[in-house]
Every structure is written in C-alpha cells, then in structure tokens.
Amino acid sequence: LFVLLESTVFPVTYLNISKDLALQRLLVEWDVGKSAHDAELAMSFEIQVRRTDKTITVWTEVHNITLDKSGKPLHWIWDSDLPLECMSHSVRIRSKAEGSEIWSQWSLWETVLGLDTSNSSGPQIFPSEKIVEEGSDITLCCIGRKGQIIKEFFLVPAVHVFNHTKSQVGLLTVKNVAYQKVPHITVYCQESCNEKQCYDQAVLFVGKPPDTPNDFSCQTQDLRIVTCTWSQGGDTYLYGRHSPKYTLSEEFSQKTVPCTVSCSEQCSCSWDIGQQRICNITVTVENPLGKKTVTDVFDVTHRIYPTASFQLWEECTDTEITLYWKHRNKGIELFCQTEVLQPDGKVELHNSSDMHLHYASITLDGLQPYTEYTARVRCGAAKHFWRWSEWSEARTIRTKEASPSGKLDIWREITPVLRGRNVTLLWKQAPSFRANGRSISYEVTWEKVEDGSKPESISFSSVYNSTRISIDNHSYKISIMAKNNVNYSLPSVLIIPRATVIETLFCSFLGTEELKEEQVNGTDDGIFISWETRHIYDSYIIDWCNFPMLQPCDLQWKRFGPNTSSALINSAAFVPGVRYNFHIYGSVANRASLLEKKTGYLRELPPLRDPTVKKVELTFNAVTLSWDSYLTNETQSGFVRGYHVYVSPIQEDCSLKGSKKHVLPDDSVLCKYTIENPEEKRYTVKYLLSNTKYKLVVKAYTGGGETPIVNFMYIDTPFNSNVLYLLVLLVIVPSLVAAVCRWKMKWVKECCCPVIPSPNKSEVLSFKEFKV
C-alpha cells in the first residue's frame, strides 16, 4: 500500500472560492477523490493566490490535513491585506499524499471578480469606511471607471503614504497609522477629469482596542442591590457608535446582568440579586478593534459597603461630647469610626461598636472647655469587613465653658518717685493658660504685706494687658487673675519689696547702676544671653524693650526654670544697629532681684556719624587732633571699639613712620593709625614734613566696621625756624664776611700797592693824607 501511495496522486476534483467582504477574507472550498477519503490519507495541499493586476503569486501556503471517511469538502481562509473589491483574485491548488514526492497537477485557476470589472458611475474607494488600529498598516484602493485612470489619491490630514496611481485602480498604503487628534481621516480620490462624478471620498477612524477594566469589584449596601464599579482605562479615540460598550454577565446563571452602565470618573452598574449570595460577575468591554473581560467572584455578605451615617446630634459638658447618629443599614452589625479634628489641626480617630436599633453613639472625653471640635463618622461591617462607608457630614461642636485654667504670666517695672514708687504691671497668657470661656477679663489686686490693710483692686477687659499703680515705700503683694462667665483663674502673685533708704533718697540710682553692663553678641537668630545660676532662686526672668528709643518701649519678659543658665532672645522687633538692654532677675517666693545686666545688638552697624575734630594743634612736624564731644553710648549703631586716624600728603602717597598703609578705592595710599580705646579722644600724628599740606580724617569703628571715607580736613605744617637760623649761620654770615673781606682787600691793595711810577708817589709814605 505504501508503494502504491508513493506513485499515486490525488488531484483536486472540486474547487470553489467566495469572498466575505465584511471580514475581507477569501473562503476556499475544495475536495479530492473519494478513494483518498476512504484511505484516510494525510495529505498536503499547496494553495496559491494571484491578483489580476499581477503576473506573480501574492500568496503561497502549504495546508496539511488528514482526511476522514465522511467525505466532507476541505476549507481554507485567507485574509487579504488589500480590499477584495479592488481587483479580482484567483486561487489554484495541487496536492500530494504524505510520504509521496509527487505533486498532482495544479487545478485550474478559480476566480472571484473585483469591482474593477464592473461598470460604475464614478470612482469608488475601498474600504469606504474603516476603523483602523493605531500603529497598524492599511492599504486602500480607488477603482476608476473603465477608460479612466486615477490621477489623485491622498489623505486629509496629510499622512505619509505609499501610493500607485496612473491606472484604473489606484493603491494607497499607510504604514504605522497614527491618531491625528481629529475625529477621522478623510480619503480623497480623483480620476483624470474634473466633473462631479470624477470624485469620491471615504473616512478612516484611527483608534485603539479597549483596556482591560481596572479595579473591578462589586459590593452591596443592603444585601439585595449589588453595585459593580471599575475604571475605564485609556482613551480609545473612538466615539459615538464606535465607543467601547460594556456588558455584565453572571457566569453561574449564564445570564446577562439587567443593569445600565453609567460612566463618569468611574463606571458602575447596579441590579437586584434577590436571595443570591455567591456571585460570579464578568464585565466585558468591546469596541470594533477588540474585546477585554475581567471577572469578580464574591460572597455578598463579604462585600458590605454601608450607607453613610446621617442626622448627627450631640450632648456635651465642658470636657466631654457624646455624639449620636442614625444609619440605614438595618440588620447589619456595624463597626464605626469617628474622626475628631482638634483645634491645633491634628486628627484623632475613635472606634466604636455600640449600635442601637436606630442609632449609634460614642463618648469623646478629655476635651478642652469652650473649644470647637469637628467630628464626622463612617462605618463598616463588623463581620467580614470590606470597606468604610462614605463619611457623614461633618458637625462642629463647642464644649461648654469652665473656669480659666493655669495662671497668667505677670511682670512689673518699678519707677521710684517722690514718697513712693510707680509700678507698671504687665500680664500675658502663658502657654499653659486657657481662657475656657467666651469672654474674659482681668482683675488686679494689691495690698500691703505688713499691716494687712484693705486690698485695692481694679478690673480690665480682655483688650488690656498692662496698668500702672502707685504705691508707697512699703512692701506690697500684687495678684492678677483672669475671669470668665464661670469663675476666676488661680492668682499670679508678685511681691514688691520695701524700698531701702538709699532707694528712697536716691531714687534707686545705686540699685540699678552699680551693676556693670556686660556686652553680648547677636546672631542671625537672636541675641544670646547667659547668666550665673544661684541655687536660692526657683526661676529666672529676663526683660528687655522691643523699642528702646521710644516711650513706652514695649517691655517684654521671658521666664526660665531654675536649671537654665542661657537663652537665645529673639523678637520680630529686633533690627540691626539698635542697642538692646537686658536685665536678668532671680525670683524666689514671688520676689524678684536684679542679678545681671547685659547689652548688645542683633548685628552691629558702622557708626552713624564720624567724630568731629574740635581742636587742631600744629607744629612743623606733628599735628594733635581732639574730638572730646564724640558719644559712645546707646545712640550708636554698634559698640564703638576705637578710632582710626588717616593722614596723607596732598601731592603724594603717605609713608609715615609707625603707620600702616590703607589703600582707597582710587588706589591712593593713606597712613592709618589705630586707637583701640574708645575713651581716648586725642591723638598726635608725628613725623610730618614742615611746610607741607596734608589731608586728615578721624573715623570711629564698631564691630560692624566703619563708614567709607568721603570728606577730609586739610592742614599746612608751618616752616621749621631752626632751619632758618641754620641757613643764616651757614649762608648769610659767611657771605657777609666774604663781602667785607673782599672790600677790605681792595682798599688795602689800593693803599698798599698802587701803581708806582716813582717811590715818592706812594701814599703810604705820606702819612698826612692817611685817614682811618
């Protein structure tokens, strides 16, 4: 039998082809002789496809199949990349048995005609409407009428294409189609004429298959109505009748779920499940380019999503709130959570499971009196917790009033006056103080410590934080309390000690000035203050003025514990160039004693003005400058550390002995002398040249430096008289002597050595005419 099969061929006895235009497929049906079926042969069929516009085969495929005795014809499907309407397609087949090397003869070509053979009234584009997946390739054709050729074939918006025209059938291929951000792409075709019937157009829709639904889950609020939700996924770019369509089905019952899908931010669908408890729900999303599904299998009792609580009300005291709310989840045991927004912005969560038939409640304790709290509630199933309900509407509740808690932070400023003292009292709410009420006022009481006289008092509204009282020189106890509609706070107490005899006579001059002020340095964050601790004090107080040059100066104070020995004092009022004075007090049993005084700047600046030289004393080689009236106190914008004296001749750079060079921005050189004692306000510059013009300036400097040199004073050193005397001795006297000598020598010569014609003519020998 095997040898027989090797030499036997089974040609195709029947061949028929048709086309499925909707799917653009060729449907091929063929058969071989009955003997091949009876032998149940395994056979190979070579199938070729050819188009009428080509002389070559466009597709070849070998199709292997084992025949059976049913004798049914064989089938093969071919998907065409070119619309089947564009041209005629032909198919032929040959066969051979497995194990045989001999192919049968080819069958005759079987052809299905394209529309290129028809008589149409105008050009036609295929496909006329097509939905194309983004990134894919597509080929279109335009079939002209007989006797016409395709002149133009293009897309709008313009897309790079490969086209073939100048024949009756024009072809256009687009590779890697992209979405063009327009509803569709229009395809235009024109024959080589210009009449209306010479044109045709079609449309392409570019899109994407739908994404698999994300976050698909189903839940219920009452064990009857189930709601499934999911996210839509990305944009498919297909809209209207081409947009994605959602359907839900129940796999156990094999029925479509009777619900209407609605989509906004999320998609959802709800329906009544009756008494069903186990569900297997599949959501299917489909558009012309594809279909995706996702399934959720669940027990309804494990998917309870309670409705939001409603109608909240409360009962409260000064420190407790009992919050009540209603719910609609009858027959479902709930576990609830209450969110409480604190005044400081923090959020606390409180859990509860106390459920009555129609309402639930929770008691919140440890609250602050007369304080607003905002609460809201959500609930979940106590058994098989699935997720929280939505939050209820928030409810703002204020606790009731109570007595003020804590004490006021109080301080004083004592000013001695004739026969007594003026005491300025100041108070502020300490961090631990709470008003605990709607309105608050302050009550100030003072009384003598020794004789137990009747106290005096005065009240102030909440807008006040200071007052001034006058007392005599006895010791006084001062207390300040805060009061609201319920009661008073605990009193804050100060003891003003008895004025000493010295304080009485000299208005406390020695009491404050005998302490030496210590200079302190500022930083970018404040002014650092340190002090020596003493074991006898239970606290320390630092006070200072925010605006030391004004009256009132806005006195501030800060308290520290007994173990604190330093602090960084900062204030929004602190500015560079202003001197701030700090007093450090030790306090024991409400009595404060001044311990130390500090003074400093947040940052030192150069002096506001230069010293004014009031006196200049000149010699031929030195100048003495005096500036006695220059102030070095708190009016300066920094601690005056000393002075710089700058000197230079007008015509040249300076190089005096004992000085340092100082170069100005214009590159001229000055001589610089430094005086490091700010109280030294006199200086002598030596080694000057006589009869020379000099420029000088005196600059004060602080920890912030000094201001630039702008103006100079000018001096002329006098002539050196010693040089004149020397000149007289060395030049004039010898000249006079020489002149006299010259004159005398001439006279002597004339007298003693005349021209002698004869001896008797000599006047020397004639003493009668000699005259002295």
List the chain domain ranges: 2-116, 119-207, 214-302, 310-398, 408-501, 515-601, 615-719, 727-772
Sheet strands side by side (includes 225-231): 214-220, 225-231, 267-272, 262-263
Task: Provide the 8-state DSSP code for 247.
Answer: E
Strand order in the sheet with 124-126: 124-126, 138-143, 169-174, 162-164
Task: Write down the CATH number for the domain with range 119-207.
Answer: 2.60.40.10
Write the DSSP assignment of 403-426 as a string of letters.
--BS-EEEEEEEEEETTEEEEEEE
Torsion over CA: 399, 404, 407, 409 (sign): positive
Give domain 2-116's CATH number out of 2.102.10.10, 2.40.170.20, 2.60.40.10, 2.115.10.20.
Answer: 2.60.40.10
The strand pairing partners of 479, in sequence order, are: 445, 493
Contact 659, 672 (CB under 8 A): yes
Neighbours of 378 (CB within 10 A): 19
Give the span between the Cα atoms of 8 and 100, in whole angstroms.
8
pLDDT at residue 1, rounded to an integer: 43
Q: What is the pLDDT of residue 729?
A: 65
Say what the pLDDT of residue 706 is: 94
Residue spans of beta strands (DSSP E) within 533-687: 539-545, 555-560, 566-569, 579-588, 591-601, 615-618, 623-626, 640-649, 660-663, 669-675, 682-685
Angstrom distance (rounded) from CA 527 to CA 548? 15
Using CA atoms, how far apart are residues 629 and 613, in angstroms rounded to an integer?
A: 9
CA distances (Å), origin 49, targets 107, 115, 349, 471, 694: 12, 18, 75, 122, 115
481 residue type, one letter: M
CATH fold of 214-302? Immunoglobulin-like (2.60.40)
pLDDT for res 510: 39
The two tokens of residue 32 are 């071989």
φ, ψ for residue 6, nearest 5 deg? -60, -30
Q: Are strands 199-207 and 169-174 parallel, antiparallel or unpaired?
A: unpaired
- Biggest CA pair distance of the chain: 200
Pairing, β 669-675 against β 539-545: unpaired
Decide which of 2.60.40.10, 1.10.645.10, 3.30.56.10, 1.10.3720.10 is the CATH code for 515-601.
2.60.40.10
**Is 314 within 8 Å of 324 (Cβ atoms)?**
yes
- Does residue 552 have a cis peptide bond before it, meaning omega lies within 30 degrees of 0? yes
Query: Quick one: residue 274, left, alpha or beta (phi over 0 = left, psi -120 to 50 = alpha)?
Result: left
| Residues 102/209, Cβ–Cβ less than 8 Å | no
Write down the pLDDT at residue 622.
93
- What does the buried/exposed string (b/e) look like for 606-619 if buried means 16 or more CB atoms within 10 Å of the residue's CB? bbeebbebeeeeee
CA gap 150, 554 in Å, rounded: 96
Following CA atoms 752, 758, 759, 763 in sequence, which dihedral angle do they give, to the nearest 10 degrees? -40
Give the pairing of strands 456-461 and 441-448: antiparallel
Residue 144, both tokens: 């002209």
Helix, strand, coil % over all residues of the chain, rounded to 5: 10, 45, 45
Q: What are phi and psi of 649, to 5 degrees?
A: -65, 155
Decide the pairing of beta strands 591-601 and 517-520.
parallel
User: Using one digit for the tens of pLDDT, what is the confidence trace for 612-655?
Assistant: 999 999 999 999 999 988 888 888 999 999 999 999 998 888 88
CATH assignment of 615-719? 2.60.40.10
- 183 closest CA partner among 131, 245, 111: 131
Separation CA 770–CA 772 (nearest Å): 7
CB 710 within 8 A of CB 665: no
Question: One fold for both 2-116 and 310-398?
Answer: yes
CATH match for 408-501 among 3.40.50.300, 1.20.1560.10, 3.40.309.10, 2.60.40.10: 2.60.40.10
Nearest by Cα to 133 from 102, 74, 177, 79: 177
Residues in the chain, pLDDT under 70? 1-7, 53-55, 354-357, 501-514, 721-731, 733, 747-772
Residue 191, SS3?
strand
Measure Cα distances from 4 to 400, 481, 527 in Å: 111, 125, 115
- Residue count of the chain: 772
Q: What homologous superfamily does CATH list for 310-398?
A: Immunoglobulins (2.60.40.10)
